[in-house]
Amino acid sequence: MTIDLGSEHDLKETIATELEGGRVRTLGLVEPFSEEDLWRSPSRLMSPLVWDLGHCANYEELWLLRNVAGHRPTDPSYDDIYNAFEHPRWERPSLPLLGPAEARAYMGDVRGKSLDVLERVDLTPEERLLDRGYVYGMVVQHEHMHDETMLATIQLMKEKAYPPAATQPPTAVARIEQDMVFVAEGSIEIGTSIEPWAFDNERPAHRVDLPGFWIDRTPVTNAQYIAFIEAGGYQDPRHWTDAGWTWRQESGKQAPGFWKREGSSWVIGRYGRSVPVELDEPVQHVCWYEADAFARWAGKRLPTEEEWEKAASWGPDGRKRRFPWGDDDPTPDHANVDQRHFGPAPIGAYPAGASAYGCHQMIGDVWEWTSSDFQPYPGYEWFPYREYSEVFFGTDYKVLRGGSWATHTTAIRNTFRNWDYPIRRQIFCGFRCAKDA
Ligand SMILES: [Fe+2]
């Protein structure tokens, strides 16, 4: 999302458009569902969709009405019901949630007031929360991140109204080598201090010296992953870390999430239907342990998040780019984002989105697991609240980069960091491998 640094009027128009775009997306995602379905929770890992609706409204109220404009709470009990830290996802169906109609009304009421506040507010650089509309960017990205989570819930719900018609992935694909590209040693800038809507965990920009390394030109495909399965990768503890092998044995998993063997081939359960596994698509729904085991089996390793960011954003010219292809926001030629196709696209579908080093599909398609734990950057300061990132730092979570087909363009960039437990695979995650030079 490029912030127009022109007039405050232009910035406010951009913000209003972004808020509206997020809301159209959210309401569109739940539109095919009955009231009853919105209460359903398909897994202990996910909230019922109706919780996400009320939560997005409550978050917007908290930040854009109460923090920015000093409004009183609509109902103080909402702050507890919709507090993600107070209530784990499995507990949310039993909370006194607003029903679908009330949640939609709450969303609409808060939104009307936020647009009024936006008209009057002074987006002064003197206040960090308002500088270049930061707090608005936070609320817009928050709703988009919930939309992606809702898509993961919908996939688990096996909803047959999905995917909506007319979303064919690109069929014209470039023929590209599935080899590795070399990234020479050198100091680079990691993170950002200038991206207006970057989160606290992406800041500040800092120099890092990296030795030379090799990294896969493309994400690991289903064909490559099937080779790992067929070589007995899931049966051989040598490829797995101790924790990974424990997960493998306890979970009994022997293939990516939603995969099923049918005769001699594999099918994927997608929204309640069986579709063939497309060999040239990036593999998705593999957890960190599986990605790590594949990499060892292949004689490689997962990239660190710094290596990933260098391959995505740097180039021989020593200049940092916001996206692999440059500084311009993604268009449909660059990347598979915005749930345009409701699934990953084949390798080679986005030649215009390649990075300067020649890596394809780094943005969109599948989130890519890295070997890195989610840790603060040197000089990190929480902003505007500790629970956004700080409480997650440590060795429990692994960093994912690049966004998926379900990520919105406003909520992704080369510096964006996502994190999750190494056992998680209901998210739209895959990986690419790296190797020491
Ligand atoms: Fe949230």
Task: Indicate whether 153 pLDDT > 70.
Answer: yes
The CA 146 to ligand 1 mean position distance, Å, reads 7
| 282 Cα to the center of ligand 1, angstroms | 28
Distance 83 CA to ligand 1 centre (A): 8
Between the CA of 56 and the centroid of ligand 1 the distance, in Å, is 7
Question: How far, in Å, from the CA of 47 to the mean position of ligand 1?
Answer: 11
How many Cα atoms occupy the beta-carbon half-sphere of 214 within 13 Å?
13
Going from the Cα of 18 to the center of ligand 1, the distance in angstroms, rounded, reads 18
How far apart are the CA of 346 and the centre of ligand 1, in A? Answer: 31
Distance from residue 289's CA to the centre of ligand 1 (Å): 26
Mean pLDDT of the chain: 95
Please state, in angstroms and rounded to a whole number, the distance separating the CA atoms of residues 106 and 93: 19
- Using the mean position of ligand 1's atoms as its centre, give its distance from the Cα of residue 55 in Å: 7
Instruction: Give per-residue pLDDT as tens, 155-214.
Output: 999 887 887 765 777 777 888 999 999 999 999 999 999 999 999 999 999 999 999 999
From ligand 1's centre to the CA of 436, what distance in Å? 38
Burial of 79 (0-12, 13-18, 19+ CB in 10 A): middle
Contact between residue 345 and residue 198 where contact means Cβ atoms under 8 Å apart? no
* This prediction's pTM: 0.96
Closest CA to 406 of 345, 348, 360, 342: 342
Residue 388 CA from chain centroid, whole number = 15
270 has which bridge partners? 273
CA of 22 from ligand 1 middle (Å) equals 14
* Å from CA of 387 to ligand 1 middle: 10
Residue 23 confidence (pLDDT)? 98
Distance 362 CA to ligand 1 centre (A): 25
| Segment 297-327, tens digit of pLDDT | 999 999 999 999 999 999 888 899 999 999 9
Centroid of ligand 1 to alpha carbon of 63 (angstroms): 12
Residue 123 has a CB neighbour count (10 Å cut-off) of: 18
